[in-house]
Amino acid sequence: MSLLLKTSQRRTHAQQIIEFLKRGEGKCAVLTGAGVSTDSGVPDYRGPSGVYVRNKDYKPIRYQEFVSSHSIRQRYWARSYLGYPRILQARPNRTHFAIHELEKRSWVNGIVTQNVDGLHLGNNVLELHGSLHKVHCLSCHHTIPRAEFQRKLSLLNPILAEWAILNPDREAGDVASSVNPDGDLEITWDYSDFVYPACDACGVGMYKPSVVFFGENIPSTVRDESFSLIDTSNSVLAVGTSLQVYSAFRLIQRAKAQGKRVAVLSLGPTRADGVVDVKVDDGSSDVLEDVVEGLA
């Protein structure tokens, strides 16, 4: 496709989103997925370079596995220890800035994100699946910043900590430089010597990242808050998401059940393609920057 044709197509797509937002009269809820963070260097799950494409056998950790197996926790925390710096260094990209600008200009009345990377801007952001930047105790619910937990892991695992400093690109030996969206690094290693700490507060509980694992329920307060945003909005714009995860797809179902218009701006097919009012198959950064400009 020629550059001229791509530019024309992008402007057409932007105009579709502009018209959609205008019909929402300033009360459009935005629902985002992993696709909005790929330009920040955080991979997605189902995109062209997503984890499911790179590794057909990839299986995300499940809640019951984490809580029931010491060896699986060793494996998770070792991989997460090496992968978290990539998440920590990620910065908001043009999509995040564009969505924030639309909110500041009162075209968007709230954001629900499936992402756990903490890259969205503003105070009106609901993290549907939690945040990688915190860990909490499963026994007493004591919560600490992930950066603090990272330091604890470094002190308990000095050999790995030294290796990580000497190999910042994670490409030495049998270690793949491939970070997953949930922050862990795909490595083939012996995890049996990896040490992770018990809870500081109660002394016995196990820490878990403050994200919703597969097989784990979203906290009822978060679920209800996401429902409330849909209920008080005139429309929903989903950005950078395939909507394969039910906790996100049900928000689209809820909006449609209330007779509200729904648009999707995302590359590739989505679970909601058969029910949405507007589908724009394109990357979000260029399109949303044009949308901001067109609504100025």
CATH code of the domain covering residue 112: 3.40.50.1220
Over residues 147-160, the mean pLDDT reads 95
Same domain, residue pair 155 and 61? yes
> Which range, of 1-5, 68-72, 157-161, 250-254, averages the lowest pLDDT?
1-5
Is 136 among the catalytic positions?
A: no
pTM: 0.88
Asked if pLDDT for residue 104 goes beyond 90, the answer is yes
Give the tens place of pLDDT for each residue, 123-143.
899 999 999 999 999 999 999
Domain for residue 51, yes or no?
Answer: no
Nearest partner of 263 among 13, 9, 20, 15, judged by Cα: 20
Residue 58 has pLDDT above 80, yes or no: no
Instruction: Answer whether residue 64 shows pLDDT above 90.
Output: yes
Tell me what the mean pLDDT of segment 256-264 comes to: 98
Same domain, 25 and 115: yes
Q: Both 169 and 265 in a single domain?
A: no
The verdict on 99 and 136 lying in the same domain is no
Q: Which of 211, 246, 275 is the endpoint of a domain?
A: 211
Task: Establish if 123 belongs to a structural domain.
Answer: yes
pLDDT surpassing 80 at residue 145: yes
Of 192, 211, 230, the residue at which a domain comes to its end is 211
- The tens digit of pLDDT for each residue in 168-203 reads 665 433 333 445 555 455 555 678 899 999 999 999
Number of structural domains, the chain? 2
Q: Does one domain contain both 148 and 279?
A: no
Residues 290 and 204 in one domain: no
What is the model's pLDDT at position 139? 97
Confidence of residue 1 (pLDDT cuts 50, 70, 90): low
Same domain, 178 and 77: yes
pLDDT at 165: 85
| The token pair that represents 30 in the structure block | 């935005």
pLDDT mean across residues, the chain: 89
Among residues 184, 211, 238, the one where a domain terminates is 211
User: Which of the given ranges, 27-31, 44-48, 167-171, has the highest pLDDT on average?
Assistant: 27-31
Would the annotation count 28 as a binding residue?
Answer: no
**pLDDT at residue 2, as a whole number:** 62
Of the ranges 85-99, 144-158, 184-198, which one carries the lowest mean pLDDT score?
184-198
Is it the case that residue 19 has pLDDT exceeding 90?
A: yes
Q: What is the CA radius of gyration of the chain?
A: 20
Whether residue 28 is found in the same domain as residue 152: no
What is the DSSP annotation of 218-263? PPHHHHHHHHHHHHT-SEEEEES----SHHHHHHHHHHHHTT-EEE
Among candidate residues 100, 129, 133, 136, the one labeled active-site is 129
Q: Is residue 1 part of a domain?
A: no
Q: Which residues lie across from 62 on neighbouring strands? A: 214
Residues of the domain holding 19: 15-42+92-129+218-295
Q: Flag whether pLDDT at 147 surpasses 60.
A: yes
